[in-house]
Amino acid sequence: METFLSNLSLGFSVALGLQNLGLAFLGCLVGTLIGVLPGVGPVATIAMLLPITFSLDPTGSLIMLAGIYYGAQYGGSTTAILVNIPGEATSVVTAIDGHEMAKKGRAGAALAVAALGSFFAGSVATLVIAALGAPLTRVALMFGATEYFSLMIMGLVLAVVLAGGSVLKAVAMILVGILLSTVGTDLETGDERMTFGLIFLSDGIDFAVLAMGIFGVAEIMRNLAQPESRDVVRKPIGRLLPNREELRQSWAPVLRGTLMGSILGILPGNGAVLAPFASYAMEKKLAKDPSRFGKGAIEGVAGPESANNAGAQTSFIPLLTLGIPGNAVMALMVGAMTIQGIIPGPQVMTGNPSLFWGMIASMWVGNLMLLVINLPMVGLWVRLLKVPYRLMFPAILAFCCIGIYSINSLPTDVMLIGLFGLVGYLLIKCGFEPAPLLLGFVLGKLMEENMRRALILSRGSLSTFITEPISAGLLIVSAVLLVAAIIPNVRKGRDEMFVE
């Protein structure tokens, strides 16, 4: 405990230095801005800023880059809530209830709860990294292809729970999502699948393209089609900060989301992607009145946002303790470290303690800064909604096009968001929800890859999924969840009898 405290105080002495404070602030600010712009993600930004970090000292440059990363997570939720465009897989869930809240004039509360929940989650996750980072890594190493496949199955079951309406429609959407994820080059044979010989499809469909089209552009079409609901914003803004009732409803989801995110973030196979979905599904299951979800339930913002931020933070654990980056941003951080002559891995903690602990302390500092940057901005963001929609939607569309083009420099991506927008609009009209489709898309890729790899490693034996204990456990949990999702129809009847 004593060494833990002395480590932390070493960390804070580094993180609170004037230069590092400045860099953390800069990183958070840039991160927030690029997070708010749809499409422009932290990966592109960090890559572009890499040469700037050559002239900084290693600790300072990593603090700045980390700030961009979690700043982008904050900023991304702002766009999801205000205009229903999730820039990253992790803010898809925030868009569901967050945007509904915005429509009801509670955008301020949604933004504030997202910021407060994220701050809490970030603080806890920082402590988790500091105290448990090293031992938790061993758990992460136990996850191989077999385990990841079963984890993805669990994720898909959660997607069924996630959907608001009919289970059948949700399953259909998940399957379409999985189908879309199979477009592209086959990993094992190198053959092209469902690309129709089109070169821009040979790497598959980009998540950002699909999400921006099916959520963002479809939302704009829907708004334009229904003049009465268009001016969400005509309504009085109301209180900016959440009221007592909303805070009371939020604290438990924040705690649970933090726990969920902290655990899933540790898995290096992009497990953090599942965290907000899992948190949402859990909140919906635990809620007294699940029907409020999808119509602006504050728990549906508080839980997933906390899970998202906790996961973003704990995904540093495999990087810092093992040298294995958990996602694309972490891989860039490895690049930044090696350019500075620091080889990520367990030896950083012992060989370079001021960098290691300084970075951990700066995470907390950065989270505090994000709160300071974001809370006052809530008012500004909400006022943005007052801009008449006829002026707003061309701007949103323009930003989407610029953002999507900036990812791959492909004009076809810009056309595709239009196409997916149309598809998304038709789906909404027919009563299908886009969120399960996106989850199916994200998980489908990981699921296929891991299943095929698990089967190669087991030399074709399917029983590997049951004989591996962790995998078997996850499959059992999935089965239980699935039954629980289907049974309410049966149980509802029974409950009504009791009421009688």
Partner 1 sequence: MLKFSRRMIVAGLGSLMAFGAADAADWPQRPVTVVVSQAAGSSPDVLARIITDKLSRTLGQQFIVENRPGAGNVVGTQSVARANADGYTFLFGTSAALVTNPFTVKSLSYDPAKDFIAVSKVARSHLLLLVNPKIKANNLTELLALEKEAPGTLSIAVDGPRNISGLIAQSINKQSGSKFVLVPYNNINNAVQDSITGRTPVTIQSASVVEAFIKDGSLRPIAVAGNQRVPSLPDVQSISENFKDIDLQGWFMVMAPAGTPEAIIDSMSKAIAKALAEPDVLARAPTLGFEIESGEIVTPAGAKAFLDAQLVSTGKVIHSLGMEPN
Specify the stretch interacting with partner 1 by CB under 8 A; choose among 195-203, 240-248, 301-309, 354-362. Answer: 195-203
Sites for partner 1 among residues 396-425 (CB under 8 A): 408-410
Our CB check for partner 1 shows the closer of 197 and 236 to be 197
CB of 217 to partner 1, least distance (A): 22
Binding mask 199-228 for partner 1 (x = CB under 8 A): xx-xx-------------------------
Sites for partner 1 among residues 230-269 (CB under 8 A): 268-269
CB of 360 to partner 1, least distance (A): 19
How far apart CA 383 and CA 233 sit, in angstroms, is 9
CB of 25 to partner 1, least distance (A): 24
How far apart CA 19 and CA 22 sit, in angstroms, is 5
Query: What are phi and psi for residue 55, nearest 5 degrees?
Result: -90, -5
CB of 346 to partner 1, least distance (A): 6
CB of 90 to partner 1, least distance (A): 18
CB of 88 to partner 1, least distance (A): 16
**Count of residues engaged in binding partner 1, rule: CB under 8 A:** 49
Our CB check for partner 1 shows the closer of 341 and 493 to be 341
To 10 degrees, the CA torsion angle through 51, 270, 171, 177? 30
Sites for partner 1 among residues 34-63 (CB under 8 A): 43-44, 46-48, 50-51, 54
Q: Write the single-letter amino acid at 9.
A: S
Three-state SS annotation for 346-379: CHHHHHCHHHHHHHHHHHHHHHHHHHHHHHHHHH
Sites for partner 1 among residues 308-347 (CB under 8 A): 322-326, 328, 331-332, 335, 338-339, 341, 343-347
| Token pair 């930004």: residue | 45
Identified binder of partner 1 from the candidate list 4, 5, 188, 239, rule CB under 8 A: 188
Classify 294 as helix, strand or coil: coil
Token couple for 47 = 């890559």
Residues 429, 432, 437, 439: is their CA dihedral positive or negative? positive
Residues 119, 120, 122, 123: is their CA dihedral positive or negative? positive
CB of 404 to partner 1, least distance (A): 14
Looking from the CA of 277 toward its CB, the CA atoms found within 13 Å total: 29
Identified binder of partner 1 from the candidate list 29, 167, 185, 368, rule CB under 8 A: 185
To 10 degrees, the CA torsion angle through 296, 302, 308, 314? -170
CB of 57 to partner 1, least distance (A): 15
Specify the stretch interacting with partner 1 by CB under 8 A; choose among 69-77, 83-91, 174-182, 194-202. Answer: 194-202
Sites for partner 1 among residues 109-148 (CB under 8 A): 141, 144-145
CA distances (Å), origin 397, targets 40, 93, 218, 385: 14, 21, 11, 15
Strands 184-185, 192-193: pairing is antiparallel
Our CB check for partner 1 shows the closer of 145 and 163 to be 145
Q: Answer yes or no: are the C-beta atoms of 46 and 65 closer than 8 Å.
A: yes
How far apart CA 299 and CA 306 sit, in angstroms, is 11
CB of 480 to partner 1, least distance (A): 28
Return residues touching partner 1 (CB under 8 A).
43-44, 46-48, 50-51, 54, 141, 144-145, 185, 187-192, 199-200, 202-203, 268-269, 322-326, 328, 331-332, 335, 338-339, 341, 343-347, 408-410, 449, 453, 456-457, 459
